[in-house]
Structure 1
């Protein structure tokens, strides 16, 4: 199964695509979708939507997961993140996928073993779980971690049903 993980952000949305075969995970691709910080909000959101649609068409995932919004101390930043997250959820739903949604603490716990892990620990564990991967930055590492978390949850759900 091909799983897409997304770490939404208005400036940069990280993405990671993995293949999950039972408990085996392998890296397919990862990267960042960037918007022009000088452009108006609506144009940035439209551009994010266009880039995401192309990403979905290129990789054809069967499953997807998105990191949940965390509340910043700056309400404006939280709102911008929420706008980007809405575009990401819409884009995934548009291709018929009901995305998994995970809090950052749950993603960290699934990948590192503790919900309080630092970004560097997440990056290191993603690199260990996907040998040979070249990660395109912190946003892409977080997105790959979201994909790994979702793959683990899907595998657990299949074991409980089967």
Structure 2
């Protein structure tokens, strides 16, 4: 599975692509940051982020996109920008028909460090170690994007298998219920046919 991780932000939108499978060490495909000038209006900055993510999807062909779930912060202006960039990432992925997963910061931290309370430095350190990188990815937005991708590779694969198993069980249950319903309908038809034939025989017998 190849996953594009997106750490949304207006000034810096972190992007990281990793490839791997649950239970196996993932490998780095690409990492970087989309930067937008602060003197541009928000709409133009979002257009630049959209174009950047489109280009990354074209170049690296991910199977899924993992985006950090936006959560409440004290700085409302910051969280608004983050939410807008997050929405752009989801729209771009959906337009390409790619599945999108949202992971909270604590989920990502727990996945890569074992603790949902790890700080950014600990996350960067573990991302460097997991991907066996020669140096720490910078800035932190890039490292966070890689952490998101790693989290989805490890957790998303398990989730998908559970969802597939649940889907298979539902389908099997639906098929079993359909068979039961069909048997009931067939039995009712047989009874109706038998009753009709009995009536016909009674009528014929009366005529004699």
Q: Which residue of 1 aligns with 2:49?
A: 48
Q: Which residue of 1 aligns with 2:92?
A: 91
Q: Which residue of 1 aligns with 2:123?
A: 122
SS of the aligned residue for 2:86 comes to helix
Q: Distance in 1 between matches of 2:96 and 2:12?
A: 22
Q: Distance in 1 between matches of 2:62 and 2:43?
A: 27
Out of 140, 143, 156, the residue aligned to residue 142 of structure 2 is 140
Once the two structures are TM-superposed, the CA of residue 158 in structure 1 deviates from its matched residue by 5.2
Q: Contact conserved, 2:6 with 2:15, CA < 8 A, in 1?
A: yes
Once the two structures are TM-superposed, the CA of residue 133 in structure 1 deviates from its matched residue by 5.1
Q: Which residue of 1 aligns with 2:74?
A: 73
SS of the aligned residue for 1:73 comes to coil
SS of the aligned residue for 1:16 comes to strand
Q: Which has the higher contact order (CA 8 A, sep 6+)?
A: 1
SS of the aligned residue for 1:56 comes to helix
Q: 1:153 to 1:21 in 2, by over 3 A?
A: closer
Once structures 1 and 2 are overlaid, which stretch shifts more, 126-135 or 64-73? 126-135
Structure with more of its chain in strand, by fraction: 1
Compute the TM-score of the two structures, normalised by the length of structure 2: 0.74
Q: Contact conserved, 1:27 with 1:133, CA < 8 A, in 2?
A: no
Let me know the Cα RMSD of the aligned residues: 1.5
Q: Distance in 2 between matches of 1:159 and 1:11?
A: 36
SS of the aligned residue for 1:111 comes to helix
Instruction: Report Cα offsets for 1:79-121 as digits up to 9, x if no partner.
Output: 1111111111111111111211000001000110011001000
Q: 1:92 to 1:158 in 2, by over 3 A?
A: closer
Q: Contact conserved, 1:30 with 1:136, CA < 8 A, in 2?
A: no
Q: Distance in 1 between matches of 2:34 and 2:134?
A: 18
Q: Which residue of 2 aligns with 1:26?
A: 27
Question: Mind listing any 5+ residue stretches in structure 1 that lack a counterpart?
Answer: none
Q: Contact conserved, 2:25 with 2:130, CA < 8 A, in 1?
A: no
Question: Mind listing any 5+ residue stretches in structure 2 that lack a counterpart?
Answer: 166-208
Larger radius of gyration: 2
